[in-house]
Structure formats: structure tokens, C-alpha cells
Amino acid sequence: MTRTLLSILTTALTLTIAAAPSHAQDSLAYDLSELPVGSIVHKVTAAPVEYRGRKAIKVEFTEETTRAEFGVSVDNPTFVLIPARFKNGTIEVDVLGRLSRNAPKDSRAFVGLAYRVVAPDAPFESVYLRPTNGRKKHPPVPRDKRAIQYFAYPDWKFPRLRAEYPDGRYEAGANIGDDEWIRLRLEIDDSRVRVFVNGEEELALTESKATPATGDIGLWVGIGAQGYFANLRVTPR
């Protein structure tokens, strides 16, 4: 083999190795026209529906959950779990939140994503929206800065985060409203979380409140909310 040919082969091999993704995993994509195989419905109801022009999964509290401690507590494991084996990467989904007919007065159409869920009642992290606090509704101060919320179950729910971090670093405003489709994207890298709403970065956290784990993805709703979910894409990294 000539030196020229050897040099060409070595260069090609180097480029191939450099171009190969590191620890790459395939994306998981669900249109959510039906419940994905292996889903777990936990303390909520879930049903395929068509709403505002999209096929989706509708999620809301069961009657039992509404009557239980969740009526006076917040930020709990109330979700549909989708198998994912996710630790870091990107999660994208279309969400729509609206108030249930008998929603408590403090409900804000809570709807969002849970992630790194290792078991239904185990610790997990979440980012959710309060659509009725969105700027489109012109809520009073300070609710206009509280349309997006991060929390880590069970130790770091929003009341504790708000009390210990009055600078509001775990919340943010967003130009959203209830009963409308919203594109929510989370970019997660260990303790860092970037939150995009309809393509705009609205919240960037550098210190999450949980030890990163590998787990499932949850379609999450809060008290008094009807949540609709469509077009879920999970891209682990």
C-alpha cells in the first residue's frame, strides 16, 4: 500500500469517527392519537379525542383524585407515563390547557410535562404551564410572571421554590392563553433546563432541584385542569 493511499484511508477513517454521534439514541415520536403501548395512567383519566383540529390525548383528574389530598396540595404525580428511558435531551409536545367545569378558584389550567419518572410515585421533575396566567389574558402582577413553572417532586414544589427564591428564578411569564394549542419544548442537560414556548425561550435554569435520573415522560395535569396533548417527540442524548 502506497503512502498516499494509506494517508487517504486514514483521513477518511478519522472523518467517519468524528462524524459519528456520541451516545446517540433514536428519537421517540407519538402523534398521541391513541395511548402509546406501555403507557401508565396514574391518578388521572386519559382518552383519545379530537379537539380544536387535532387528534390528542385528553388528561384530567379522576373524581377520586380531586376529592383526595390533591385538592389542598399541589404539584403531585398526576400524569400519563410514556415509556422513554430519558435522562438528558429534548422533549417537545403540543399542549392545550383549559379549566374544568368545577375547577377551584385558584386553578390556572395547569398542563405540562413530567420527566425522569422512575416509578409512578417516585421523585421526578416537571415543567408546566399556567395558561390563564399568560400575557394574552393580562393577569394582575405578579401572576403575569407565573405562566411557566418548574418543580421537583416531592421536596421542591412551587410554594417552597417561590418562598426560598423570591427572585422568581423557577417561574416565568409567557405570551399564552387557555384553550389554545401551545408548543412546549424542554432542553435538558443534567441540572440545566431551557424552556421554549411557541419557539421562544422563556425560562433558563442552571440549577434544577433533583439528582438527574433516567426515567419515563409524563403528560402532566394539575387540579381543575383539562389537558390535551398531541405530537410528542422525545430525543434522548
Q: How far apart are the first and last CA of the chain?
A: 40
Residue 9 covered by a domain: no
Residue 2 covered by a domain: no
Alpha-carbon torsion angle 107, 113, 116, 117, nearest 10: 60
pLDDT, average across residues 207-225: 97
Q: 15-47 pLDDT, tens per residue?
A: 332 333 333 468 999 999 999 999 999 999 999
pLDDT for 67: 87
In the numeric block, the cell 410535562 is attached to 113
Please state, in angstroms and rounded to a whole number, the distance separating the CA atoms of residues 196 and 185. Answer: 5
Residue 126 covered by a domain: yes
Domains of the chain: total: 1
Around Cβ 58, how many Cβ atoms within 10 Å? 19
Question: Please, what is the average pLDDT of the chain?
Answer: 90
Closest CA to 87 of 192, 10, 199: 192
Residue 152 covered by a domain: yes
Q: 157-166 pLDDT, tens per residue?
A: 999 999 999 9
pLDDT beyond 80 at 200: yes
Q: 100-127 pLDDT, tens per residue?
A: 998 999 999 999 999 999 999 999 999 9
Residue pair 93/229 in contact (Cβ under 8 Å)? The answer is: yes
Please state, in angstroms and rounded to a whole number, the distance separating the CA atoms of residues 202 and 209. Answer: 19
Please state, in angstroms and rounded to a whole number, the distance separating the CA atoms of residues 90 and 27. Answer: 9
**Strand 200-205 to 124-129 pairing:** unpaired
Residue 184 covered by a domain: yes
**pLDDT confidence band for 70 (50 / 70 / 90):** low
Element (H, E) at 13: helix 3-19
Percentage of the chain modeled with pLDDT above 70: 88
Q: What is the pTM of this model?
A: 0.88
Please state, in angstroms and rounded to a whole number, the distance separating the CA atoms of residues 202 and 168. Answer: 13
The DSSP letter of residue 34 is S
pLDDT beyond 90 at 11: no
Residue pair 178/109 in contact (Cβ under 8 Å)? The answer is: yes
- E-strand ranges in 72-181 read 79-86, 89-99, 111-117, 124-129, 148-153, 171-172
Residue pair 95/182 in contact (Cβ under 8 Å)? The answer is: yes
CATH number for the domain that contains residue 54:
2.60.120.560
> For residue 46, with 0-12 CB atoms within 10 Å meaning exposed, 13-18 middle and 19 or more buried, which class applies?
buried
Closest CA to 236 of 75, 94, 89: 89
pLDDT beyond 80 at 140: yes
pLDDT beyond 80 at 8: no
Closest CA to 109 of 118, 120, 100: 100
**pLDDT confidence band for 87 (50 / 70 / 90):** very high
Residue 138 covered by a domain: yes
Residue 96 covered by a domain: yes
What is the SS3 assignment for 17? helix
**Phi then psi dihedrals of residue 30, to 5 deg:** -135, 130
pLDDT beyond 50 at 213: yes
Residue 97 covered by a domain: yes
pLDDT beyond 50 at 197: yes
**pLDDT confidence band for 173 (50 / 70 / 90):** very high
Q: 89-98 pLDDT, tens per residue?
A: 999 999 999 9
Range of the domain at 58: 24-236
Cell of 10: 486514514
